Structure 1
Amino acid sequence: MARSQSIASRIRFFSFLLVTLPLCVSLLTFAVVSRILVVGGAHHDMVVELQHHKLTTERWLNEQLQSITFFAHTGISDLHDTAALQQALRVFLNYHTSFSQVFYASPDGSLLTGPELPVPINVGDRGYFQKARQGLPVVSPVLVSRFSHNPSLIFCAPLPFADGRFAGAVIGVTDLRTLDEALLRLHRRQNDQSFLATADGYLLTSRLQENTIILPRYNPEGIPVTRTVLPPEDSLSTPHFYRNTQGVYVLGVRLAFKSGQWLLVQERPVRAMLGGYSWIIAMTMAGALATAALLIPFLLKAGRRITGPIEEISTMSEELTHGHYDKECPYLHTADMPPEIRRLYDNFCFMAERVSQQMRDLEHLSFCDTLTGLHNRRHLAHEGTRTITACTEADLPCSCLMLDIDFFKQVNDAWGHDAGDMVLQSVARTISNAVRSKDMTIRMGGEEFAVIAPATDTASAFSLAERIRRNIESTPVQAADDEIRITISIGVADMGGAPIFGTTQLDDLLAKADRALYQAKKKGRNRTEIWSEKLIAAAPDG
Structure 2
Amino acid sequence: MAGPQSIAARLRAFSILLVTIPLCVSVITFLLVIRGIVVDSSHRDIVVELKHHKFLAEDWLNYRLRDVFFFAQNRIQKTSDINMLQVGLRNFLTFHSSFDTVFFIPPEGSFVVGPYDKSSLDVADREYFKQAQQGIPTISNLLAGRYTRQPTVVFAAPLPFKNGKFQGLIIGSLGLQGINEILSHLRRTQNDQTYMATREGFLLTTRLINGQVVHPQYDNQGHATLKTTLPPANSLHKPTFYKNDAGNFVLGASQPLKNDEWVLVQERPLDEFLYGYGWILLMTIAGALISIALLTPFLIRLARRITLPLKSLTVMAEEITHGQYDNECPLLDTEDMPVEIKRLYENFCFMAERVSQQVTDLEYLSYCDTLTGMRNRRYLTREGPRLINLCERGNTPCSCLILDIDHFKNVNDTWGHDTGDIVLQNTARTLSSMLRASDIAIRMGGEEFAILAPHTDKEAAMTLAERIRSAIEQKKITAGENSLNITVSTGVALLAPNVTFGSTKLDDMLIKADKALYMAKSNGRNRCEQWAETTPPDT
Change (3 A) 1:62 1:346: closer
Q: How does 1:448-467 map to 2 (within 5 A)?
A: none
Does residue 244 of structure 2 align to residue 244 of structure 1? yes
Q: 1: distance between equivalents of 2:168 and 2:338?
A: 114
Q: Which residue of 2 aligns with 1:388?
A: none
Change (3 A) 1:188 1:344: closer
**Residue type of the alignment partner of 1:97:** S
Instruction: Report SS of the residue matched to 1:226.
Output: coil
Instruction: Report SS of the residue matched to 1:234.
Output: coil
Offset at residue 37 of structure 1 (A): 0.4
Q: 2: distance between equivalents of 1:153 and 1:117?
A: 21
Q: Which residue of 2 aligns with 1:122?
A: 122
Identity of aligned residues (%): 44
Q: Which residue of 2 aligns with 1:54?
A: 54
**8 Å CA contact 1:193, 1:209 repeated in 2:** no
Q: Which residue of 2 aligns with 1:97?
A: 97
**Residue type of the alignment partner of 1:109:** G
Q: Which residue of 1 aligns with 2:207?
A: 207
Change (3 A) 1:315 1:61: closer
Change (3 A) 1:14 1:180: farther
**8 Å CA contact 2:207, 2:215 repeated in 1:** yes
Provide, for residues 202-243 of structure 1, a one-character-per-residue CA deviation record: whole Å limited to 9, x for no partner: 222222132122322222222223222222222121111111
Change (3 A) 1:151 1:277: farther
Q: Which residue of 2 aligns with 1:33?
A: 33
Number of aligned residue pairs: 375
Q: 2: distance between equivalents of 1:207 and 1:232?
A: 18
Offset at residue 178 of structure 1 (A): 2.0
**8 Å CA contact 1:64, 1:155 repeated in 2:** yes
Q: 2: distance between equivalents of 1:336 and 1:162?
A: 111
Change (3 A) 1:356 1:40: farther
Q: Which residue of 1 aligns with 2:366?
A: none
Q: 2: distance between equivalents of 1:98 and 1:201?
A: 26
Q: 2: distance between equivalents of 1:192 and 1:338?
A: 63
Change (3 A) 1:158 1:14: farther
**8 Å CA contact 1:144, 1:222 repeated in 2:** yes
Does residue 84 of structure 2 align to residue 84 of structure 1? yes
Change (3 A) 1:192 1:328: same
Q: Which residue of 1 aligns with 2:274?
A: 274
**8 Å CA contact 2:113, 2:119 repeated in 1:** no
Q: How does 1:431-450 map to 2 (within 5 A)?
A: none
Q: 1: distance between equivalents of 2:337 and 2:134?
A: 109
**8 Å CA contact 2:65, 2:138 repeated in 1:** yes
Offset at residue 200 of structure 1 (A): 2.6
Provide, for residues 10-33 of structure 1, a one-character-per-residue CA deviation record: whole Å limited to 9, x for no partner: 859955872332122212211211
Structure 1 stretches of 5 or more lacking a match?
Answer: 1-5, 363-369, 376-421, 424-463, 483-542
Instruction: Report SS of the residue matched to 1:229.
Output: coil
Q: 1: distance between equivalents of 2:171 and 2:334?
A: 108
Q: How does 1:105-116 map to 2 (within 5 A)?
A: 105-114=105-114
Change (3 A) 1:247 1:16: farther
Q: 1: distance between equivalents of 2:56 and 2:344?
A: 83
Does residue 234 of structure 2 align to residue 234 of structure 1? yes
Q: Which residue of 2 aligns with 1:328?
A: 328
Does residue 178 of structure 2 align to residue 178 of structure 1? yes
TM-score, with structure 2 as normaliser: 0.57
Provide, for residues 420-453 of structure 1, a one-character-per-residue CA deviation record: whole Å limited to 9, x for no partner: xx99xxxxxxxxxxxxxxxxxxxxxxxxxxxxxx
**Residue type of the alignment partner of 1:186:** L
Offset at residue 142 of structure 1 (A): 0.9
Offset at residue 82 of structure 1 (A): 1.8
TM-score, with structure 1 as normaliser: 0.57
Output the aligned Cα RMSD.
Answer: 5.0
Instruction: Report SS of the residue matched to 1:247.
Output: coil
**8 Å CA contact 2:192, 2:267 repeated in 1:** yes
Q: Which deviates more from structure 2 when the two are superposed, residues 244-253 or residues 65-74?
A: 244-253
Q: How does 1:434-513 map to 2 (within 5 A)?
A: 468=502, 475=511
Q: Which residue of 2 aligns with 1:347?
A: 347
Provide, for residues 279-311 of structure 1, a one-character-per-residue CA deviation record: whole Å limited to 9, x for no partner: 343455567778x599979x97xx99x98xxx9
Offset at residue 71 of structure 1 (A): 0.7
Change (3 A) 1:7 1:82: same
**8 Å CA contact 1:15, 1:296 repeated in 2:** no
Q: Which residue of 1 aligns with 2:430?
A: none
Structure 2 stretches of 5 or more lacking a match?
Answer: 1-5, 363-376, 383-443, 446-497, 519-539
Q: Which deviates more from structure 2 when the two are superposed, residues 241-250 or residues 220-229?
A: 220-229
